Every structure is written in structure tokens, then in C-alpha cells.
Amino acid sequence: MPSARIHDAITLILAPPTFLVALGITGSLDLSIVTTGAMLFAGFMFGPDLDIESKQYARWGPFRFIWWPYQFIFRHRSRLSHGIILGTAIRVLYFVIMLILLVGVLSFLNHWLDPHIQVHPDLARLGKRIWRVWRATDHRYLVAAFFGLWWGAASHTLTDWLHEIWTRTKRIF
């Protein structure tokens, strides 16, 4: 399979066309920037190779622990991690669940270290704030971000597939 350097180069090469296509589709500079930024993030840090100890995984630094269960759950290059359709959706869902768990654990530890802090009312207020922000959000930005994440990961998977086809073809001839 292509090295991390090749995948990174392809991500960088695809950034300008991604921006131009997004701008052509949306007509919005903001949405195009969000899409391209998400594509770059996916290409460098949020792609299919988080299921192994890869360059993408290493870039998470001290937060790599977030991906340990993901590596245990998903086999490398399975349809659930490298799948064009499901891969990104599963990673986004997994990441959101891990963030929720992390906030819960940190809240519990905070309460445990200082029992005078009332965790439940704080969490309830936080939940209400998140809900208000969600309702007020222009969901076009979320769609643009998801499309960028999808395209960054899809370009990785497509590169793997093309490399595999090329390798098999060379063996035949």
C-alpha cells in the first residue's frame, strides 16, 4: 500500500480542486473553506488508517488513547474502517461517543476530587447549551464538514485500491 508520505501528498494535491468544486457547488467561500479544511483534517488525522498504529494515529499525540478501542474493534482495511460509505460515518459516530465518554469521565473525576462541585446540574446546563447551539447551527456547515471528512478518507481508500490494482496488474504482465 502507499506510504503515509504518498497519502499526505495526495491529500495536499486534492485540496485546491476540493476547494474549487465546493465553491462551484455551494457558491459560498465559508462552506468551501469548511469542506477543504475537513478534507485536510481527514487526510492527515481522521482517515481509515486509525485502525492501526499509523502516521494518522501518531499525529493524535497524547490523545491517541481515544483510538485504542477503535483499533481493537475494527480490523485493518475492513469495510467498516476503509469503506467508502461507512468508514467516515463510523469514525464520526465513534469520535462523538468517545468525546461524550471523555467529558463524562472528566466530570466524574472533577466531582470526585472536589465533592462540593455539583456535577449533575452542570452537566444538565451543558446539555441544554449544546442543544441550543445545535438548534441555532446552520447545518450546511455540518454537511460541508462531513463531506470534507468523507472526501479526505475516500481519497485515501481510493488510493489504496488503485495501488492494489496496479500491483496486481504488474504481476500479470
pLDDT, tens only, 58-108: 999 999 999 999 999 998 888 888 888 899 999 999 999 999 888 888 777
pLDDT value at position 40?
97
Specify if 119 maps to a domain. Answer: no
Asked if residue 107 is part of any domain, the answer here is: no
- Whether residue 51 lies inside any domain: the answer is yes
pLDDT exceeds 80 at position 127? no
What is the Cα–Cα distance from 38 to 30, expressed in whole angstroms? 12
Structural domain contains residue 124 = no
Say how many domains are in the chain.
1
**Does residue 16 fall inside a structural domain?**
yes
Cα 8 from chain centre: 15
The answer, yes or no, to whether residue 148 has pLDDT greater than 80, is: yes
Residue 109 is predicted with a pLDDT of 76
If one counts every other C-beta atom within 10 angstroms of the C-beta of residue 122, the result is 13
CA distance 163 to 169: 10
**Whole-angstrom distance, CA of residue 91 vs CA of residue 78:** 13
Task: Tell me, yes or no, whether 102 lies in a domain.
Answer: no
18-27, 121-130, 153-162 — which is least confidently predicted?
121-130
Segment 19-66, tens digit of pLDDT = 999 999 999 999 999 999 999 999 999 999 999 999 999 999 999 999
Q: Determine the structural domain holding residue 68 and report its residue range.
A: 4-92+139-172
Note whether residue 114 is domain-resident: no
